[in-house]
């Protein structure tokens, strides 16, 4: 039986890079989607091949339906099939709500929400056509509770929950499972943008478990939800945040 395959969007850094490595360790061949840092993506791909799995690099911005279809198609072309899609790509440009522009709103919704929807659509079309009982994982966030400088971001991550539940119902007849993962404060470039080390330490102390999460911990949940051990789990939001948000 051929190895299972996964496409991870936004895999050049952070949680996406950790996901690519974790899936490789779990035995998957990996399509590494990247946007603007080829060297970083190549380093992730090298880790995948070091784990004994195939890696393909897929450059692309998920901000349009056409681009989503193209990058999913490139991943399938490179790997031969697609079993799992991880909708990880996302942006969080901080802006005060009173200063937010229409262009900023459109860009965040385009990447985070529309991108997730149309990457999932392209992946699901392939899965249905090939008879693959696949898995789609969407990245939400603890920002569903609200984000003072991220009204647009919080709107997308809340929208991801509705998207996940609705897609789970729509795709269940085809044996395709869809779940959302909502990380809390995680040690990536995102929280470091605009925060000093002292501020990050204070934020970490506010977490009941006393620290930031590690990207590898988020990736571990992904590989579990993609596995046969989770084959009766679909349409759910899985919060992983050290106890900050109990749901």
* Burial class for 22, CB neighbours closer than 10 Å (0-12, 13-18, 19+): buried
What's the CA gap between 200 and 34, in Å, rounded?
27
Are 29 and 84 a contacting pair, CB within 8 Å?
A: no
Q: Could you tell me the CA-to-CA distances from 1 to 4, 8, 146, 155, 157 in Å, in that order?
A: 9, 22, 45, 41, 36
DSSP H helical ranges for the chain = 14-25, 38-50, 65-79, 102-108, 115-130, 151-171, 189-192, 197-205, 215-226
Residue with tokens 């009941």: 208
**Which residue of the set 116, 140, 141, 142 is catalytic?**
141
Q: Please identify which of the residues 153, 196, 224, 227 carries the catalytic annotation.
A: 153
157 is catalytic: yes
DSSP string of 156-175, one letter each residue: HHHHHHHHHHHHHHHHGGGT
CB atoms within 10 A of CB 43: 14
CA distances from 85 to 104, 116, 137, 142, 208 (A): 26, 10, 6, 21, 31
Does residue 28 carry a catalytic annotation? no
Q: How far is residue 131's CA from residue 133's CA, in Å, rounded to a whole number?
A: 6
Query: Which member of 157, 196, 227, 245 is catalytic?
Result: 157
Residue 52, class by beta-carbon neighbours within 10 Å (0-12 exposed, 13-18 middle, 19+ buried)? exposed
8 A C-beta contact, residue 245 and residue 145 = yes
Which amino acids are annotated catalytic? Answer: 141, 153, 157
């Amino acid at each position: 039986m051929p190895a299972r395959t996964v496409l991870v969007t936004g895999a050049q850094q952070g949680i996406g890079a950790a996901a690519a490595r974790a899936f490789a360790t779990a035995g998957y061949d990996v399509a590494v989607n990247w946007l603007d840092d080829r060297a970083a993506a190549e380093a992730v791909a090298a880790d995948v091949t070091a784990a004994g799995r195939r890696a393909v690099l897929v450059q692309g911005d998920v901000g349009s339906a056409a681009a989503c279809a193209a990058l999913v198609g490139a991943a399938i072309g490179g790997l031969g099939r697609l079993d799992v899609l991880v909708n990880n790509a996302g942006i969080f440009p901080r802006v005060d709500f009173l200063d937010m522009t229409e262009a900023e709103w459109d860009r965040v919704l385009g990447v985070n929400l529309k991108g997730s929807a149309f990457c999932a659509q392209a992946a699901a079309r392939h899965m249905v056509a090939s008879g693959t009982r696949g898995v789609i994982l969407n990245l939400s966030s603890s920002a569903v509770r609200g984000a003072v400088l991220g009204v647009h971001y919080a709107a997308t991550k809340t929208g991801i929950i509705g998207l996940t539940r609705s897609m789970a119902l729509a795709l269940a007849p085809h044996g395709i499972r869809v779940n959302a993962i909502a990380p809390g404060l995680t040690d990536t470039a995102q929280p470091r943008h605009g925060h000093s080390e002292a501020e990050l330490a204070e934020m970490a102390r506010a977490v009941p478990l006393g620290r930031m999460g590690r990207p590898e911990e988020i990736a571990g949940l992904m590989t579990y939800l993609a596995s046969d051990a989770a084959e009766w789990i679909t349409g759910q939001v899985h919060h992983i945040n050290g106890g900050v948000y109990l749901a």
